[in-house]
């Protein structure tokens, strides 16, 4: 607070602001196939109020989503559909595997059920449980927020190092 003018100021960097926005405005695509999807519905409803964490803007178009939330049993026939939806999402994108079925096939030790969606797509956060509680899913989302911030810093660092290496190599070539 400026004592002379009474105005308030916040100073930050553009990168910090970008990280804050990216990790606090997820637009989830719910790929719900079974009971876990019902649990997801309760998590986005008024009691648990997922909008407190900026993740309530549910979209059913991969082009408008940045978090694929897989909630339910995935059988082998669904595999190509899930993979296609993942591929259609623009970068950057993340995946939450919700519940024992999506994480590992759950109690379906059978030939037609995928034993974990990470057989076909990368997973950022695994939420355990059958079904996971809304609190468990919210905790998973909070973990994803931290991961996104960490990853963005790491990628920026890698870019800077690469730029330095390129300029050193360019200098050496001259
Ligand atoms: S993990 Fe449990 S609750 Fe979730 S889809 Fe599988 S059987 Fe249903």
Ligand 1 neighbours by CB, cut-off 6 Å = 34-36, 72-73, 99-101, 106, 130-131
User: What are the Cα distances from residue 83, in Å, to 7, 62, 98, 122, 129?
Assistant: 51, 11, 16, 10, 23
Q: Whose CA is nearest to atom 8 of ligand 1?
A: 35
Contact 26, 66 (CB under 8 A): yes
Q: Whose CA is nearest to atom 4 of ligand 1?
A: 36
Cα 20 from Cα 94, distance rounded (Å) = 16
User: Ligand 1 centre from 57 Cα, in Å?
Assistant: 24
Give, for all 174 residues of the chain, the pLDDT tens digit. Answer: 677 888 888 899 999 898 898 889 999 999 999 999 999 999 999 999 998 998 989 999 999 999 999 999 999 999 999 999 999 999 999 999 999 999 999 999 999 999 999 999 999 999 999 999 999 999 999 999 999 999 888 988 998 999 999 988 888 876
Q: What is the set of domains in the chain, with CATH numbers?
A: 25-167 (3.40.50.12280)
Going by C-beta distance under 8 Å and a sequence separation of 6 or more, which residues neighbour residue 38? 131
Question: Mutation test of ligand 1: which of 74, 104, 106 has the most ligand atoms closer than 8 Å to its C-beta?
Answer: 106
pTM equals 0.87
Q: Whose CA is nearest to atom 3 of ligand 1?
A: 131
According to the model, what pLDDT value does residue 44 have?
92
64-75 pLDDT, tens digit per residue, is 999 999 999 999
């Amino acid at each position: 607070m400026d004592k002379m003018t009474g105005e308030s100021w916040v100073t930050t960097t553009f990168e910090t602001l970008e990280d804050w926005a990216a990790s606090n405005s997820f637009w989830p695509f719910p790929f719900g196939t079974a009971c876990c999807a019902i649990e997801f519905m309760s998590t986005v409803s008024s009691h648990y109020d997922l909008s407190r964490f900026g993740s309530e803007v549910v979209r059913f178009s991969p082009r408008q989503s940045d978090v694929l939330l897989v909630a339910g049993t995935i059988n082998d026939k669904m595999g190509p559909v899930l993979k296609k939806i993942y591929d259609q999402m623009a970068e950057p994108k993340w995946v939450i595997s919700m519940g024992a079925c999506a994480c590992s096939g759950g109690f379906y030790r059978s030939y037609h059920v995928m034993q974990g969606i990470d057989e076909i797509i990368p997973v950022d956060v695994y939420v355990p449980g059958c079904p996971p509680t809304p609190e468990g899913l919210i905790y998973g989302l909070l973990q994803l927020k931290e991961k996104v911030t960490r990853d963005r810093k790491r990628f920026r660092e890698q870019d800077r190092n690469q730029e330095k290496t390129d300029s050193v190599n360019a200098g050496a070539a001259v």
